[in-house]
Amino acid sequence: MKTWIQNGHVLDPLTGTDKVCDVLVSGSRIEKVGTDTEIHDSLKGQEDVQKLDAKGCYVMPGFIDLHVHLRDPGLTYKETLKTGGEAAARGGVTTMCAMPNTKPVIDTKEKVEEVHRRAKEESPVHIIQLGAITVGEEGKELADLKGMAEAGCIAVSEDGKSVMGSAIYREAMKLAAKYGLKVFAHCEEIDLRKDPDTGEDGVMNKCSRSEELGLPGITNSVEDIITARDIFLAKDTGVHLHLCHCSTKGTVDLMRMAKEEGISVTAEVCPHHFTLTADDITEDNGRFKMNPPLRETKDVEALRQGLKEGIMDAISTDHAPHSEEEKNVPMRKAAFGIVGLETSASLTYTELVETGILTPMQMAERMSLAPAKILGFDDKGSVSEGKAADIVVFDPSREYEIDTDTFRSMGKNTPFDGWKVKGDVKYTLVDGKLVYQNEAYNE
């Protein structure tokens, strides 16, 4: 079966292709990018061809989400490999990295292999299972880094917390570099997460709004201190460090310094952190509780500028599904995290492209090519001949209202329910197979 994507505007951040043309997919690869006539001639009368109309749409390389929580194994009342994969396909995500803080924690070769085996059977998109840095994410004993590297986990992370012991973390970084693993860092000085005035565990950013709402706050220094530590440890050990869910101006400043120093470090920003501020929290509602928290306007402006300049490399979601019982409660009782796989592309287009901060090509670069490079993938992140046929057809003109009732994810926990956005995924292809088709175009 071949697939002919017709009349779309191809955006390829690898080759710089930025024009209306057609794409022919054969099997799991892109066979040809060219004019209608060129594709027609190359088919030589073949009739078994699936045609997809991409008129008015961007044809981009499939998005790669470096940071998701799929809750599988052990917490499948929140999400599964199947439902998470379906949510990813809905959002144009063709490859995603699953964090290891499941139950049990993914900290051995065998556990990585089992998730990878199941993912191939159950998920419509590619899933890369990351491994924990320490056994059980307890920060005491190093996990099986060598074995997990052999199982293809690509990176290790203690996401959900930081490895607080600098000595064991440094040893982990040295071994990760030896075995070709990246380190994905959740930067949080856990001993400082309490509100400095009340001593209570923080639930939102420490600022005037937290005081107005009477809620305990988390300062920017909680992130900035560990970000600085991790950057300098990466410099010492030579490992590639990737900073997850960056939220502060301080982190952007540190990233600029690190890149000027030539340190091997990259960083991601989530849509909620470049879209919302703490001032958007108008009530004590658990749907706004996330870690790191929504910050202030100066932080959002710095994150946006960092993405514009490429100081901040990638856009990821930190997709964190929870049950309604865990989120539909006051912030002190709510779990941290929101879902994002199905809203990321639309929020990025609405908040960054429509406002002129990013070009459509830069959107494709931040959401696909840059993550592909971070993971070391040569065959993804591009719509060019010979590359993997992981493709998203994105309609920049479609306006709609985010509705959690339509989510493929089991998680409905988002502050964006009811938001009006512009730009939506029309088709998603993974290895040349159509895994998502937007039903709105059949109405």
Residue ranges at the known binding site for substrate: 69-71, 101, 291, 322, 336-337
Is residue 171 within 8 Å of 145, Cβ to Cβ?
A: no
Residues 6+ apart with CB under 8 A from 336: 289, 290, 291, 320
Residues 6+ apart with CB under 8 A from 286: 326, 327, 328, 329, 330, 331, 333, 334, 335, 413
Instruction: Identify which of 352, 344, 215 has the alpha carbon closest to the alpha carbon of residue 289.
Output: 215
Nearest to 420 by CA among 305, 228, 275, 308: 275
**What stretches of 292-432 adopt beta strand conformation (E)?**
314-315, 391-401, 420-430
Beta pairing partners, 437: 427
Measured distance CA(426)–CA(6) in Å, rounded:
13
Q: Considering 318, 390, 395, 424, which one is annotated as catalytic?
A: 318
**DSSP label at 406?**
G
Residues making up the annotated binding site are 67, 69-71, 101, 159, 186, 245, 291, 318, 322, 336-337
- Cβ count near 194 (within 10 Å): 17
Distance CA 175, CA 145 (A): 7
Q: Structure tokens of 239?
A: 């490992």
CA 154 to chain centre: 15
Spatial separation of the C-alpha atoms in residues 319 and 89, rounded to whole Å: 14
Tokens 């809750």 -> residue = 71
Instruction: Please list, in sequence order, all residues whose beta carbon lies within 8 angstroms of the beta carbon of residue 211, skipping any fewer than 6 positions away.
Output: 217
Instruction: State the Cα angle at 173 between 170 and 176, rounded to 5°.
Output: 155
Buried b (16+ CB within 10 A) or exposed e, 311-347: bbbbbbbbbbbbbeebbebebeebbbbbbbbbbbbbb
Q: Clarify whether 279 is annotated catalytic.
A: no
For residues 299 and 297, what is the distance between their CA atoms, to the nearest angstrom? 5
**How much of the chain is helix, strand and coil, in % rounded to 5?**
35, 25, 40
Q: Per the annotation, where are the binding residues for Zn(2+)?
A: 67, 69, 159, 186, 245, 318
User: For residues 435 and 91, is the Cβ–Cβ distance under 8 A?
Assistant: no
Strand partners, 95: 64, 126
Among candidate residues 1, 46, 11, the one with its CA nearest the CA of residue 361:
11
Q: How many CA atoms lie within 13 A of 351 on its CB side?
A: 23
Q: Give catalytic residues, as residue numbers.
A: 318
